[in-house]
Amino acid sequence: MIAEVIVDIASGETDRIYDYLCDDDTVVGSRVRAPFGGKIVPGFVMRVKETSDYPQEKLKKILPCPDELPALNAECLALAEKLTARYRVPKALTLRLFLPAEMRTGKVRELTRNYAVLNLSVSEMKLSKTAKNQLGAAQYLEEHGKTDCAYLNTAFPGGVSALEKKGYVTVTKEQILRNPYKTIEEENVSRTLTPDQERAVKTICEDSRTVQLLHGVTGSGKTEIYLTLIAQCLKEGKSSIFLVPEISLTPQMLSQLRSRFGKNAAILHSGLSAGERFDEWWRLRTGEAKIAIGARSAVFAPMENIGVIIIDEEHDSSYCSETAPRYNTFDVALLRAKRNGCKLVLGSATPSVETYKRAQDNEFCLIELKNRINKRPLPEIVIADMRREVRRGNNGAFSGALKEEIEKCLADGNQAILFLNRRGYSQTVICKECGYVAKCEACDVSLTYHRDEKCLKCHYCGMKYNTLSACPDCGGIKLAYAGTGTQRIVADLQALYPNARILRMDNDTTSGKEGHYKILKAFSQHKADILVGTQMIAKGHDFPAVTLVGILDADMSLHFSDYRSGERTFQLLTQVAGRSGRAEEQGKVVLQTFDPENDVLRYAVAYDYKGFYENEISLRAAMAFPPFSKIVRVLITGEDDKKTLEGLRNVYVGLEELYTKEMDKFLFFNKMRAPIKRIQNKFRYQVLMRLADTSILPQIYDICAECRTRDVLVSVEENPANMS
Ligand code: ADP
Ligand code: ZN
């Protein structure tokens, strides 16, 4: 038999598929080792066939890997084919999504341990009295049975191997699964569903449509509904995929899942070590674990017989991939749901405008949860007009209203969360003499001052620079630190409230796989009074003692030049506000803004999603923005500016031809520099389009695929979440 093998998928930029001789029982999707260019490289069997176009005698033979199951199941292979065709990327790139990195690179480190067992009883052995270690090990084994060799080797050095040589002992290797969340305590609560939750579960199960949108206010108990659905699947022997937007959410969710589902729950996310991820992945592949939980990449979990797919916080922008293939998690989940004939449940307090429209159009089933659990009121949101604060001479980060509420909150022994969307100490370093702004050498963005580390950092590439004592342009020494970051807020707060215990949570404080977990745990155990953080504190957390949320700068995301900035702001404000007053005590939210009359803020303050949606959808219709059109950006990047420009020209010429032929399908067509001209030393250009009719999308993909070269990357993005 002949196997078509894809080799070298680790680098993944090109497809290298070769014919090899293989055994008759070779299974499609299985991992193999292939002789290639004098080396043995890892590969995967894509197809098995009778004959090859190459002369048989020239073909080499593949060596199998001793896996109990092929790494890729039929569903994953079929899905990979579909994605490869849809996004016009090499198959190798698509396959990477389905495999843990360790498996691709062939450096799979199954964690194994050696165990020794006796073959004879000690009395039957011929051992000299002076062989103390052999005697010791043998006696130990006789008393305790099978024992870890690591222990025996320390206690009786050399004993086991000598016994093995004599045939008295057999040593076997056993695979150990790493346990990535040893430190997570299981939270053991079982709840009976409220009538609202019962109704939601019933509708989801009974409605005939595939996609179910669960629109429930924050604190309405959506998680409990997801867990019930997963439990039902488990009872029927089916598996589930449960997607959550950010790693910071998973530990909390995981402890709930672990207590309820034990080892049936497996977690897949980038914060794990490669070995841990491999183990979790393999547990899912073998069916030992039946629930995959993780960020967007978990949508590729190697499962069969899926009973439900859940996308929590479906509006979150992290569900859009920003590397090739630039898939949308919803699209992949829908393909899998259809193939498995199961439900795809989307949950959110603030569904994306596009999703909600599809529910309004009856394509999706809409289930609404209008109340919090136990009819707890939503927190009251008060607006603090920062223009008035400035007029009163308050140039600080906190309004009078917020300071008053913080004091009250601290005096009552409650907790507060302060939200700001910038990390670091201050935003930029500006020379007051000449206007110089410190920028990253590799990226076209300004640097942020970090006081802890006494350095300037680029938030795009992570590069660190020394702080400046003088302006490098004019030599002036009047350097100003403009803007406010999370570090600065903490310093200011501490000065105002010297006795308050303050925690900070942002990208700088959460490194390591349990970074988030530790901060969240300390806060939930009330080891701090105030938590200051970026948008990672906005999502999903449930802290009963939090009665105050302060939103320091509600405007910051309103003025981005993105058609979705209103939507994003509404979502963010609603999410952050939702952290307050989740238990017995009424919560409060202080929202600071320079633009209090803004429509989006007014809808957010009133918790009026419908009002916001009606307003937004009519704006979108009037402007012909998505969902009434599709924005397509072709991004051309490369390290050599000239070659990249040439790439842009090629793409543009190809697309322009299409444009002239099919003008009625375009609403907008232009080429330009990308908003950020350079990131990580790569120059960036773009062709921006808005399509009234998406039937020409495949042609756009084809044109762009042809312009890809070794030096110039060309990627197509549909309704990109990030337009920088
Ligand atoms: P959401 O995800 O909709 O924001 P959560 O699922 O976090 O809401 O639930 C909010 C709170 O209500 C949590 O503290 C949760 O433990 C509690 N809760 C959920 N369902 C029930 C129930 N059936 N009975 C009692 N408490 C519940
Ligand atoms: Zn940089």
Same domain, 580 and 656: no
Residue 369 pairs in a beta bridge with 216
Q: Are 485 and 513 in contact (CB under 8 A)?
A: no
Of 99, 121, 145, the residue at which a domain comes to its end is 99
Same domain, 236 and 324: yes
DSSP structure string for 424-451 = SSBSEEEETTT--B-B-SSSSSB-EEET
Residue range 556-562: mean pLDDT, rounded? 59
Give dist(CA 573, CA 593) in Å, integer: 12
Residue range 376-380: mean pLDDT, rounded? 87
Nearest CA to ligand 1 atom 16: 221
**435 within domain boundaries:** no
Query: What's the chain's average pLDDT?
Result: 86
Decide if pLDDT at 328 tops 80. yes
Kindly state if the Cβ of 581 falls inside 6 Å of ligand 1.
no
**51 within domain boundaries:** yes
Same domain, 219 and 350: yes
Distance 265 CA to ligand 1 centre (A): 20
Same domain, 321 and 237: yes
Nearest CA to ligand 1 atom 25: 191
CATH number of the domain encompassing residue 215: 3.40.50.300
**475 within domain boundaries:** no
Distance 556 CA to ligand 1 centre (A): 31
Q: What is the pLDDT of residue 321?
A: 87
**510 within domain boundaries:** yes
Nearest CA to ligand 1 atom 17: 221
Angle between helical axes of 353-360 and 609-623 (0-180°, round to 10): 100
Give dist(CA 605, CA 93) in Å, integer: 44
Give the ranges where 436-587 is alpha helix by DSSP (H): 486-496, 515-524, 565-577
| pLDDT band at 8; cut points 50, 70, 90 | low
Top pLDDT among 405 and 278 is at 405
Kindly state if the Cβ of 347 falls inside 6 Å of ligand 1.
no
Ligand lying closest to the C-alpha of residue 579: 1
* pLDDT tens by residue, 187-239: 556 678 999 999 999 999 999 999 999 999 988 999 999 999 999 999 999 99
Percent of the chain's residues with pLDDT above 70: 90
Q: What is the pLDDT of residue 444?
A: 72
Same domain, 230 and 327: yes
State yes or no: cis peptide before 42, omega within 30 of 0: no
Distance 529 CA to ligand 2 centre (A): 35
Residue 506 phi, psi (nearest 5) = -155, -175
Decide if pLDDT at 386 tops 70. yes
Q: What is the pLDDT of residue 176?
A: 64
CA quadruple 202, 203, 207, 213: dihedral sign: negative
558-573: b or e for each residue (b if 16 or more CB lie within 10 Å)? beeebbbebbbbbbbb
Eight-state DSSP code of residue 349: S
Best residue among 189, 197, 223 to mutate for probing ligand 1's pocket (most ligand atoms within 8 Å of CB) is 223
DSSP structure string for 109-147 = ---EEEEEEESS-GGGS---TT-HHHHHHHHHHHHH-SE
| pLDDT band at 439; cut points 50, 70, 90 | confident
For 192-199, which contacts have Cβ atoms below 8 Å and span 24 or more sequence positions? 193/224, 193/225, 193/228, 194/221, 194/373, 196/220, 196/221, 196/369, 196/371, 197/221, 197/224, 197/225, 197/228, 197/369, 199/367
CATH number of the domain encompassing residue 148: 1.10.10
Report CA-CA distances (Å) from 471 to 137, 337, 477: 71, 58, 6
Ligand lying closest to the C-alpha of residue 197: 1
Distance 230 CA to ligand 1 centre (A): 16
Domain ranges, residue 133: 111-176
Which structure tokens are listed for 95?
């396959």
Give dist(CA 438, CA 620) in Å, integer: 38
Q: Which of 71-80, 294-303, 351-360, 542-551 has the highest mean pLDDT?
A: 351-360
Q: Residue 676 in 3-state DSSP?
A: strand
Give dist(CA 575, CA 557) in Å, integer: 14
- Give CA 344 to chain center in angstroms: 19
Decide if pLDDT at 635 tops 90. yes
Distance 678 CA to ligand 2 centre (A): 9
CA quadruple 669, 672, 677, 679: dihedral sign: positive
CATH number of the domain encompassing residue 70: 3.40.1440.60
Same domain, 615 and 659: no
* pLDDT tens by residue, 592-632: 988 888 888 999 999 999 999 999 999 899 888 899 999 99
Residues with CB under 5 A from ligand 2 (ion): 440, 442-443, 458, 460-461, 463
- Give CA 455 to chain center in angstroms: 28
* pLDDT tens by residue, 126-140: 888 888 889 999 999
Same domain, 207 and 158: no
* pLDDT tens by residue, 484-506: 678 888 999 999 999 999 998 87
Decide if pLDDT at 638 tops 50. yes
Best residue among 224, 584, 607 to mutate for probing ligand 1's pocket (most ligand atoms within 8 Å of CB) is 224
Q: What pTM value is reported for the model?
A: 0.81
Which structure tokens are listed for 493?
């707060």
Same domain, 212 and 298: yes
Distance 341 CA to ligand 1 centre (A): 29
Residue range 535-542: mean pLDDT, rounded? 72
| pLDDT band at 183; cut points 50, 70, 90 | very low
Nearest CA to ligand 1 atom 18: 221
Kindly state if the Cβ of 193 falls inside 6 Å of ligand 1.
yes
Kindly state if the Cβ of 194 falls inside 6 Å of ligand 1.
yes
Q: Which of 293-297, 343-347, 664-668 has the highest mean pLDDT?
A: 343-347
Number of domains in the chain: 5
**133 within domain boundaries:** yes
- Give CA 472 to chain center in angstroms: 39
Same domain, 227 and 150: no
Same domain, 334 and 359: yes
Kindly state if the Cβ of 215 falls inside 6 Å of ligand 1.
no
Which structure tokens are listed for 566?
């209103």
Distance 260 CA to ligand 1 centre (A): 15
**472 within domain boundaries:** no
**568 within domain boundaries:** yes
Q: Are 549 and 416 in contact (CB under 8 A)?
A: yes
Q: What is the pLDDT of residue 497?
A: 95
Of 99, 133, 152, the residue at which a domain comes to its end is 99
Same domain, 651 and 675: yes
Q: What is the pLDDT of residue 493?
A: 94
Residue range 324-340: mean pLDDT, rounded? 94
| Ligand 1, atom nearest to 373 Cα | 12
- Give CA 206 to chain center in angstroms: 31
Kindly state if the Cβ of 222 falls inside 6 Å of ligand 1.
yes
Kindly state if the Cβ of 583 falls inside 6 Å of ligand 1.
no
Nearest CA to ligand 1 atom 19: 221
Q: What is the pLDDT of residue 594?
A: 81
**398 within domain boundaries:** yes
Measure the CA dihedral 439/442/444/449, to 10°.
-30
Of 369, 389, 407, the residue at which a domain comes to its end is 369
State how beta strands 306-312 and 343-348 pair.
parallel
Same domain, 91 and 18: yes
Q: Which of 327, 283, 328 is nearest to 303 (CA)?
A: 283
Half-sphere exposure of 507 (CA within 13 A, CB side): 14
Q: Which of 510, 536, 552 is nearest to 403 (CA)?
A: 552
Specify the length of the chain in residues: 724
679-704: b or e for each residue (b if 16 or more CB lie within 10 Å)? beebbbbbbbbbbeeeebbeebbebb
Decide if pLDDT at 122 tops 50. yes
Which structure tokens are listed for 641?
């500016």
| pLDDT band at 278; cut points 50, 70, 90 | confident
